[in-house]
Structure 1
């Protein structure tokens, strides 16, 4: 068993190096140079083959490789060391974050219902009790959801990266979700079963839609958010950088997923709100990052598009950061909707991979300054 596990690890490692060398970007150098580059990145800069491919380092001067942040445990420890866990939990638990947004007048999609496991566990591992519209049975659920209008977006209370999230679309008296069509009561039992398996609550929010000016840059099934990073310095909230996640295909979330979900990212100019060229992988099996000039579903040009309500987005991000000064830096996911910008969630340990891909440069120096305060 141990030998089999070691063999599997060795195979995975060797396959990563093979893919990094054999699936280059169109502007990458010849294969022998790529092989030398992959080995140099690993042994001199501790950058593995996947990140070598994600950051297109074959086309980047080696003198700039050390500017890139690698999302690993040591990097995550930096976030945890600068902010107390009790304040981070307010953001990381979605039901708590919703209550925080309501208290601080931060616009966010309403929570229609919270579905705990059937054992009645309303408390997370962080010790916070869940407050809000809790539905412990189908009757509670019907009373909470039937009074609202529109479709639902359902996700785990402590989930990340869009894992396990799905939409439930109302069509007459039937709800369509995860390849199923059922009654509203059956939807409750389906969600509660998932809550039982994971032993965590699920929350049902009103499903949102993209602003009219952005619909040609999004798929019809998922709204892409602006990821805008803020930080605290000397008691003041500041903006750092921003990207937008552009959805494509039939996925239900905007997660970039290290380029494994078919979505795109584009840098946003902080002053003007204009988009740079998009980036995505031409392969879902391995990151082969390339520039994308037009949205693949609609043909809409990405570069140069100006985001609507950009000043409002920046103002909302700063307002949200000021509401939690104890958390020194936060990556906000803000959707631009017909009703205005809405905060979907905050991220206290936000990954830098998609931001660095979107901006085509590393942010290590800036992040070190943020960590130092």
Structure 2
């Protein structure tokens, strides 16, 4: 009963807030929420963030056809389960890439944190779960004599760091790897996190020689974070839409400050308002070549979302995702719709 009461409360809260924001009748909004939930299997968060309660949602009404449940179900159909672990389990992915000479971060160790493992790590390293998503459990550290400093300035002794790493791991194996630095041309976008490009590849049929590039965007993280994940962009993150052929910035997309709806702009980084025309994305040709090689290597999986680090030494494959989530912007949704219909 408590679970049912909590869910009813969520519906009522969204209807109340939506009624105030869109200046529409509460009962009308509540009916639309129930209809969108039942007809399109949308989460309440999706209904709010995608602005589907507005009188005229405009081109972003496309989002109602791309619920997380629906798109993940499609990805699960086209990506055979027996092959997903080759990409989703990061140590296996990195090992295969290294065998083929594909550029990935250097791996220092994998396993549960212990004193012996800690003693074998270099002075700078990045730690993250071997199997995880959304940047959960990721952090970076620098050794300074007998102490460690985390990326956000906290200081740890050996025992304190071991305890902290165990908290991050929560029983999972951790990967301790190279801490990649962002290309100098892109450090203006984040002072802490590595700037990555999410590029989605799709094999339209078994006879295709090259994969299609469905969409590409830079992931602009929120302030004061070490992870590049944008999620639903509800905490200040942004998606910088790119032309898939040239890598030229097209528009920046994020959630409206009210929490209702998606907005596009011709600048990036929120209050700093860096104009897109001032950005010069480096190494786009090499980035596309890297992604094409990755798609060929894992061709048993029809569609993959690649996170490519735009590093000071060129593009580097950070990870692949068999369930890569949908973008916020209309052209990306159109590309996915075309792939799903095929």
1:67–1:362 Cα contact (<8 Å) kept: no
Structure 2 match to 1:159: 132
Question: Is 1:100–2:96 an aligned residue pair?
Answer: yes
Counterpart mapping for 1:4-153 below 5 A: 4-23=2-21, 30-32=23-25, 35=29, 41-42=36-37, 45-57=40-52, 58=54, 59-61=56-58, 65=62, 68-72=65-69, 74-116=70-112, 137-143=114-120, 145-146=121-122, 149=123, 151-153=124-126
TM-score between the two structures when normalised by the length of structure 1? 0.79
Match of 1:340 among 305, 314, 321: 314
The 1:189/1:55 distance shift into structure 2, 3 A limit, reads closer
Task: Quote the Cα distance in structure 2 between the aligned partners of 1:356 and 1:288.
Answer: 10
Deviations 1:273-316 (A, max 9, x none): 111221223449x4543334242364421357341111111111
How far did 1:238 drift? 2.4
Deviations 1:230-264 (A, max 9, x none): 12232432211111111231012121121233211
Deviations 1:129-162 (A, max 9, x none): xxxxxxx74224312x13xx5x222111111111
User: Which region of structure 1 is more displaced relative to structure 2, 226-235 or 42-51?
Assistant: 42-51
Counterpart mapping for 1:162-241 below 5 A: 162-177=135-150, 180-184=154-158, 186-192=160-166, 194-195=168-169, 198-217=170-189, 219-232=190-203, 233=205, 234-236=207-209, 237-241=211-215
What's the C-alpha RMSD, in Å, of the aligned pairs?
3.0
Instruction: Note the residue ranges of structure 1 that are not aligned, 5 or more in a row.
Output: 25-29, 117-135
Task: Quote the Cα distance in structure 2 between the aligned partners of 1:343 and 1:55.
Answer: 30
1:156–1:202 Cα contact (<8 Å) kept: yes
User: Which region of structure 1 is more displaced relative to structure 2, 252-261 or 152-161?
Assistant: 252-261
1:249–1:297 Cα contact (<8 Å) kept: no
Task: Quote the Cα distance in structure 2 between the aligned partners of 1:313 and 1:360.
Answer: 19
2:304–2:322 Cα contact (<8 Å) kept: yes
Task: Quote the Cα distance in structure 2 between the aligned partners of 1:184 and 1:75.
Answer: 44
Structure 2 match to 1:124: none
Deviations 1:35-84 (A, max 9, x none): 38656644654545432333334343489647741111x43232222233
1:258–1:287 Cα contact (<8 Å) kept: no
Task: Quote the Cα distance in structure 2 between the aligned partners of 1:63 and 1:349.
Answer: 22
Task: Quote the Cα distance in structure 2 between the aligned partners of 1:238 and 1:78.
Answer: 17
How far did 1:22 drift? 3.2
How many residues of Structure 1 are paired with residues of Structure 2 in the alignment?
A: 333
Task: Quote the Cα distance in structure 2 between the aligned partners of 1:302 and 1:21.
Answer: 35
Task: Quote the Cα distance in structure 2 between the aligned partners of 1:290 and 1:302.
Answer: 15
1:20–1:38 Cα contact (<8 Å) kept: no
